[in-house]
Amino acid sequence: MRLSRIGEFANECWMNIPNHFPYFYLDAFVIMPNHVHGIVIIEKSCAVETRHAVETRHALSLPQSQNSKPPHPRFRNQGKNTISAMTGSFKSAVTKYCNENKLPFGWQSRFHDHIIRDKQEFHRIRNYIINNPANWKEDRFHS
């Protein structure tokens, strides 16, 4: 994949994520002309460690036990060490760069996240990301 000027800056920002989020480690990723795919590994829970659970935070993905507190409001600020915060920071940095350099650019308003639960799924998703540029011509947004 040949990166545009915006793509090169987005790549630089992505590679700097661990400098701003110390428990986040980057695995496979690719910057496509109209989207980004990446695997982020969270080594240590940045939230209160009660069960060593991993959550996407904004979607409240884990089932609640009978003894647990009621879930947080859906749109509450979940803190600085979350996937939402990391994604927001990444998108904000790229947007700021584009605005400062008068480059036309815009993100979709949301992002999709997924908890990878086992090695088989990890390898399937990693291969999908690695092979995504080779499949670009079949993408519905390719022109």
For residue 109, what pLDDT is reported? 79
Count of structural domains within the chain: 1
Contact in structure between 55 and 117 (CB atoms under 8 Å)? no
In a domain, 143, yes or no: no
In a domain, 70, yes or no: no
Quickly tell me which residue has 């090695």 as its tokens: 119
For residue 17, what pLDDT is reported? 96
In a domain, 106, yes or no: yes
In a domain, 65, yes or no: no
Q: Is the pLDDT of residue 58 over 60?
A: no
In a domain, 20, yes or no: yes
State the Cα–Cα distance between residues 41 and 36, nearest whole angstrom.
16
Determine the average pLDDT of the residues in 99-123. Answer: 91
For residue 80, what pLDDT is reported? 74
For residue 106, what pLDDT is reported? 85
Q: Is the pLDDT of residue 45 over 80?
A: no
In a domain, 63, yes or no: no
pTM of the model as a whole = 0.73
In a domain, 129, yes or no: yes
Domain interval for residue 89: 5-57+75-138
Environment class of residue 108 by beta-carbon count within 10 Å: exposed (0-12), middle (13-18) or buried (19+)?
A: exposed
In a domain, 31, yes or no: yes
